[in-house]
A = this chain, B = another copy of it.
């Protein structure tokens, strides 16, 4: 939703407010950065997350000062960035980055319903590795008590996207410097079993 906070002061043409743009970015990114304010100071931490409909979930230890501050109402800004390419232009000024980013402004709602809490943990686990949750032993009551799950509304979320290639000023285009894009990609390398592992690699990991 476009609000004063979600309207960028620069490059507003790159801004998007629709779920069709925002949701896939949140779903593709494995990690977000959660920023908050504690005693007037900014604090930010990278963490895992998962999206379900119009909610974003994160989890953390009940002992974490950061999680507790957020849980008790500190305002939150969550950012996600996927870097898709380095844009090399003929001037330093026209260098850029192809990226897809999301910024969410929200306050945490603590998930207290046990079924929703368990579902959120399943979503966070399966966001990292699809189909993982059903392969795990059940989470215990003790583990659940040690974990805080927080939900954030995506009502005040926006995306910013740059695609395409270099875009030099007309006056620079004939300079003898190479211009183009270097695409970036995050890849998963072959799994390495733990030394105590005796199980064979499941189908959902061998793909």
What is A's interface to B at a CB cutoff of 8 Å? 5, 9-10, 30-31, 33, 35-37, 40-46, 48, 60-61, 63-66, 75-79, 81, 83, 86, 88, 90-93, 95, 97, 99, 101, 103, 105, 121-122, 125, 128-129, 132-133, 135-137, 139-140, 143, 146-147, 165-168, 172-202, 205
Contact = CB atoms under 8 A, between A and B. Distances in A.
Given A93-B140, A179-B194, A183-B188, 17 more contacts: A5-B41, A30-B86, A33-B44, A33-B46, A35-B35, A35-B42, A86-B129, A91-B136, A129-B182, A135-B177, A137-B177, A166-B194, A178-B191, A179-B196, A181-B192, A184-B188, A185-B186
Contacts of A188: 86, 182-184
Contact of A177 (B83, B183, B199): B199
* Count of this chain's copies in the oligomeric assembly: 2
Contacts of A81: 31, 33, 46
Contacts of A173: 196
B129 A44 contact: no
Contacts of A195: 165
B177 A193 contact: no
Given A132-B88, A133-B92, A193 B205 contact: no
Contacts of A45: 79, 103
Given A35-B33, A86-B129, A177-B137, A46 B186 contact: no
